Structure 1
């Protein structure tokens, strides 16, 4: 048996989708939208976080291999059919999820969506395809490490997390990917690409019933081709991740990078993630107060007025089990100490003095409107629903986010700064150009 429900969110800035749950654990989220396209987003609750160190990079490698065809669909045939109808397809892997997406004209959706489902659920994953794709993956890893901003980010995450797998790059290290086998990938796929781990989101210019029926029929056809699967005893244990304690001191890491022209500085604090979602909203606002837009405090002070940095920004990275609040600056080496001190002063000020009603209103409008503006197309909307359902088990938060942001008070913003942004305890990564 399957069940359907329509969520009642009359105060939401977004329209209300239908959530359809199948007895096998698959959740389908569907919404008709007056936009001449249909987007299918397939989300799986599997990313690099579930990988032991010995196969780090497998989830991303598998994402590539999904497109190598099925026993019934030759390699390259899916792309040929997609291009012939002017459709688009792609995929992405993160720490907490993998998702595959397809955008078609409404009249082509019934023909192409089942092919996307076949690829995801029943890829052929042959040894030959695996070995041909491995050099592509290794080159992607090398390109990532050739990017100085990526290198800085990797160092920052290694410091931000002591134990949690968020400290590792999603792509995995070269020395591990070089040793992976096709058989390991087949086992990984059978273990994690299961209906109970999957959310299918479909949004576009077709009736909801038709959208759901197309996905159900395509899913059932793809499932009928799959091999039987028995869960391993440790399937869930790797997801039993415990949140790390905040920094108790300032932990500094300095690195030299010959490719840099200026220094890069990253300050980080361990903060709540999606597992404690209600705690993250005030931190989203604090990121905007400090470092998003020309009127943000650090941008105005350090870049516009003092001229000590060429860029400065803030991010609240919200992973599944825990997050990292980060402040990034690019600047001349001689300004490193004073810029760090000024940032600390701004944090102390936020802790000691509530922001004004006017500033809060401006920032909350910026945050909530940006959220709504990023949800205007079927692809945007499907990605939003899939992300929240995959990480929280519900789309309530996707619908309520703008209202929750707008409801925050100056006291709540101040309390979040006091609780999570300790000016005397944080991680600091500095990347400096090599001298001479």
Structure 2
């Protein structure tokens, strides 16, 4: 059970779907779906997805709810993550802690995670145990107890989790402050785990209301991958989830961002830091606005900051200015997102020197554009690096579930290799010029307490 920044999962979503497709796809060849997933729908509103994978008699079973940290009421940050923990505390039919124990007794494993846009629960079990976990998951969809005696101890567990993964980790604190500084109005700026004072204040009644509102079949997506057929999964789903009372889709109503006008800076000093860290965030459109732009930005992020052949590596690492560099784009989200550039200077390198070299690089990209050869290399590498995703029992379930949970269509994942192979240098350059605007950016530095940035 954990909280997961949506960038952690979603920024890599298309790459996870790309698999082993060739970078050059003949114009006359009919595109083939990556997973060959099939869908069905129950009368109570539940959406079902089946991904056949018959290499071994095992299945991955996932339930995705279209609700995450960005859907919490103001003042109650961390509630989606808190509820995720409490979903393991029992129903009238399954005692506290027994859910995971039952899965383990069957030789399986289970867990859950929370993002800004969704919450997901999963089990990996033998194929003949699928109905068991479906019944258990349907039970806690409808009958969660939220016993007061379980809430306070779990609240302390979450506060300790926040202490360990955020407060005791300077870089985690830096990322948290970056998000809070970058998003002026949107709840993506809130930490998924929640602010400490708000975690302490979440009442049981709010948790019950949150579950009642968001944890219905009409707001859920069932994804099963493995040694199954769509007919069998649909039959078992009707027998288990079909017994849950019908519910409707919950409309997301979130505050939106105003225009990002003006360059901003954040400097966080911490005595535990030995070497500085740099980050720059730019407002970026999500895939809903334009799939073509989103694909181009995905290629741009790889071209700029992925590996020794990337432009940032050549400009900063090969020149001795940086120890590491990276870039990330999180466009697979419900609302507009960000494009990020990151670097760690080598010991003794002044922060302004590294930042100046990066500014020079971005300036050249915007002025001169990128080359077709660079884009072709990036596309080949993206697809090659994801070639093993298809062998993962959870790969398809996570990729497709995450896409559907943010309202992207199934074809967005299934035909991603075809689209990414068609990205051109002109499209990447156009996307870079639209997004990499210094006058709308946030630049952040994490530095030692005695340092100046």
2:379 to 338, 347, 364: 364
1:18 to 35, 38, 50: 38
Cα distance per residue 1:267-302 (max 9 Å; x no partner): 110001243251211111111111111111111221
Cα distance per residue 1:126-173 (max 9 Å; x no partner): 111111211101111111221122111112212221100011100111
1:31 and 2:51 are equivalent in the alignment: yes
1:78 to 88, 95, 99: 99
CA contact (8 A) 1:273 1:322 kept: yes
Q: How many residues align?
A: 418
Q: Distance in 1 between matches of 2:386 and 2:405?
A: 18
Residue matched to 1:396 = 411
Q: Post-superposition shift, 1:365?
A: 1.8
Q: Distance in 1 between matches of 2:125 and 2:385?
A: 26
CA contact (8 A) 2:134 2:241 kept: no
Q: Post-superposition shift, 1:424?
A: 4.6
Residue matched to 1:338 = 353
1:417 and 2:436 are equivalent in the alignment: no
1:268 and 2:281 are equivalent in the alignment: yes
Q: Distance in 1 between matches of 2:253 and 2:440?
A: 28
Cα distance per residue 1:19-76 (max 9 Å; x no partner): 1022322110112212322011111110011112221110000000001111111112
Deviates more, 1:112-121 or 1:155-164: 112-121
Q: Distance in 1 between matches of 2:404 and 2:344?
A: 36
- The unaligned stretches of length 5 or more in structure 1 are 1-8
TM-score by length of 2: 0.87
Q: Distance in 2 between matches of 1:230 and 1:39?
A: 26
Q: Distance in 1 between matches of 2:264 and 2:146?
A: 44
Higher relative contact order (CA 8 A, sep 6+): 2
1:139 and 2:160 are equivalent in the alignment: yes
Residue matched to 1:3 = none
Q: Distance in 1 between matches of 2:190 and 2:201?
A: 17
Q: Distance in 1 between matches of 2:257 and 2:381?
A: 30
Q: Post-superposition shift, 1:229?
A: 8.1
CA contact (8 A) 1:263 1:333 kept: no
TM-score by length of 1: 0.91
Residue matched to 1:299 = 313
Alignment of 1:191-206 (within 5 A): 191-206=213-228
Residue matched to 1:284 = 298
Q: Distance in 2 between matches of 1:10 and 1:128?
A: 58
Cα distance per residue 1:188-219 (max 9 Å; x no partner): 10011122211101111122211222222110
2:173 to 151, 154, 169: 151
CA contact (8 A) 1:152 1:264 kept: no
Residue matched to 1:215 = 237
Q: Post-superposition shift, 1:374?
A: 2.7
CA contact (8 A) 1:57 1:172 kept: yes
Q: Post-superposition shift, 1:380?
A: 0.9
Query: 3-state SS of the aligned residue for 1:156?
Result: helix
Query: 3-state SS of the aligned residue for 2:92?
Result: coil
1:253 to 249, 266, 278: 266
CA contact (8 A) 2:286 2:335 kept: yes
Query: 3-state SS of the aligned residue for 1:414?
Result: helix
Residue matched to 1:4 = none
1:405 and 2:426 are equivalent in the alignment: no
Q: 1:335 to 1:149 in 2, by over 3 A?
A: same
CA contact (8 A) 2:283 2:440 kept: no
- The unaligned stretches of length 5 or more in structure 2 are 1-28
Query: 3-state SS of the aligned residue for 1:310?
Result: strand
1:189 and 2:204 are equivalent in the alignment: no
Residue matched to 2:87 = 66
CA contact (8 A) 1:38 1:205 kept: yes
